[in-house]
Amino acid sequence: MAETKYIFVTGGVSSSLGKGIIAASLAKLLQARGFKTTIQKLDPYINVDPGTLNPYEHGECYVTEDGAETDLDLGHYERFLNVNTSQANNVTTGRIYQSVIEKERRGEFLGKTVQVVPHITNEIKERIQILGKNGDFDIVITEIGGTVGDIESLPYIEAVRQLKWELGDDNALVIHLTLVPYLSAAGELKTKPTQHSVKTLMESGIKADILVCRTEHELSDDIRRKLAIFCNVRQEAVIQSIDADTIYDVPNMMLKEGLDTVTLKKLSLPDDKTPNLERWNEFLKRHKNPKAEVRIGLIGKYVELQDSYKSILEAFIHAGAENEVMVKIESIHSEFINENTIQHKISHLDGILVAPGFGERGIEGKIDAVRFARENNLPFLGICLGMQMAVIEFARNVLQLKNANSTEMDPKTKHPVIDIMEEQKNITHKGGTMRLGAWDCKLTEGSIINKVYGKTQIKERHRHRYEYNNKYKEQLEKAGMAATGINPETGLVEIIELTEHPWFVGVQYHPEYKSTVASPHPLFVSFVNAAYNYSKNKNAKLA
């Protein structure tokens, strides 16, 4: 293809309708037809990135290979497409304004008055086209965060209007996702909210080319015709997006609705290939027809909001399908774990994962959970802070180092088995002290982790501030906690495992970020397999 095509996905009526899933599903269908496709997210909040946001505010912070802290929707994009994203795939209002202000300070605007139009909108247009201009992609899908009519989104909508006019009708289109609510009192679906949303979009100078309608009930031909007439779109471009059992059903649902077909037609692209979804559908078949079930406890402190651990939950779905088992997740708040409750909360499980996080709240509950897993041979996976909790628990209860801790929780601890690196101690900006992005790791031959990956060199994504303290490495290893993954550049310990335990692994990095439908992460696959074996042995003893 000579010229990159652009698709813009906007939302109306309500937030949380699933713009990211629709964008990812369309991208999957286009990719399955042979088009090189990527997706980016434009977020209207003023934070420079989600890195400093509490997970309760915006769900998990997703980290890319190049170390960008991004919106969780980028996780959907990677899980669906099996293609890495980067800093260019997520743009925030904070980053836009930061860039424009820095240019103004450098005198790049030659004394002009800096305004939303044209300076902010030009910056947005430039960011949108970065991915299209590098020659790697045929189609760039851009999801606009927020809801049409929001004050925060207006500069993005204006930038899209300008860009659509500049690119021409055959090179850009707008998909508008709306809600068609069902009123039980009237016993019917109502189209008026969608009509008003499209009207609001048109007031900003943008005509929707395709309508995707979120609904709990089937859209009749009459309703589709009504929406087409009053929203000024072709009837074939009114796409139904009904509630699905799983987000992984949505690409097939959009295929059935013809979303990819009408998209290609409007972009004047060839529609001569049937999407190849063979591998995708094989995953769905295994996911929906499990041969067994395992129960795994997800122990964290943000468990009230499922999006806080979105990538972990999806990684379990991928690993479950790979093992042909249904992974039932029990979310357990670490603040409610103590000596009196632990037996009730954990003893019936087939494995536990101690989740990542920051700060001291709920730490002692995590440590108690680690101890239970260690002493009862329960399969254990600790991620980031979870790995650090495993080191602290072992130092306290096996090495008998009283009050061993991380300097994150106790800056004055006498035994800082987890500590911040010397070069980071004088950095005051939160974002500057993180170890982010993909780092190399060398694995010990013959270790559990070596068998998991089937190789001795790996590269995994990080997002943390505190590290395993190598001053305690010799003591810990002599007592049975082996350091089986080392960063060759820094000498920092990335992975620990217990030599006398069937399956006990802690990793400093975030394996969940790299798990996709096409490539389930081997660490999750192995952990689920260990939980399944534990379950079988437990049931055999009870029989």
Provide the annotated binding site: 15-21, 56, 73, 143, 150-152, 190-195, 226, 244, 357, 385-388, 408, 465
Task: Tell me the C-alpha distance between 57 and 167, whole Å.
Answer: 36
The first and second tokens of residue 207, run together, are: 């005509």
The sign of the CA dihedral 517, 522, 526, 531 is negative
Which parts are annotated binding residues for UTP? 15, 190-195, 226
SS3 state of residue 32: helix
Q: How far apart are CA 384 and CA 370, in angstroms?
A: 14
- Which residue in the list 76, 287, 464, 510 is annotated as catalytic? 510
Given the residues 69, 158, 393, 512, select the one marked as catalytic. Answer: 512
Task: Please tell me the distance from the alpha carbon of residue 316 to that of residue 319, in angstroms, as a whole number.
Answer: 5
Binding-site positions for CTP read 15, 150-152, 190-195, 226
DSSP characters over 274-326:
----HHHHHHHHHHHS-SEEEEEEEEES-TTSGGGGHHHHHHHHHHHHHHTEE
Annotated binding site for Mg(2+): 73, 143
Do 175 and 10 meet the contact criterion of CB atoms below 8 Å apart?
yes
Catalytic residue check, 510? yes
- List the binding residues for L-glutamine: 56, 357, 385-388, 408, 465
| β-bridge mates for residue 440, sequence order | 459
Q: Helix 250-257 and helix 259-266: axis angle, to 10°?
A: 60
- Of 384, 464, 494, 521, which one is the catalytic site residue? 384
Q: Which residue ranges are tagged as binding site for ATP? A: 16-21, 73, 244
CA distances from 7 to 30, 33, 142, 380, 535 (A): 12, 16, 6, 43, 47
Dihedral in degrees, nearest 10, Cα atoms 80, 84, 86, 92: 10
Residue 297 burial (C-beta neighbours within 10 Å; 0-12, 13-18, 19+): buried
Burial of 37 (0-12, 13-18, 19+ CB in 10 A): buried
512 belongs to the catalytic site = yes
Q: CA-to-CA distance for 441 and 459, rounded, in angstroms?
A: 6
Per this entry, what is the length of the chain? 543
CB–CB of 524/511 below 8 Å? Answer: yes
Helix (H) or strand (E) holding 201: helix 192-203
Q: What is the SS3 assignment for 331?
A: strand
Which positions are annotated as active-site residues?
A: 384, 510, 512
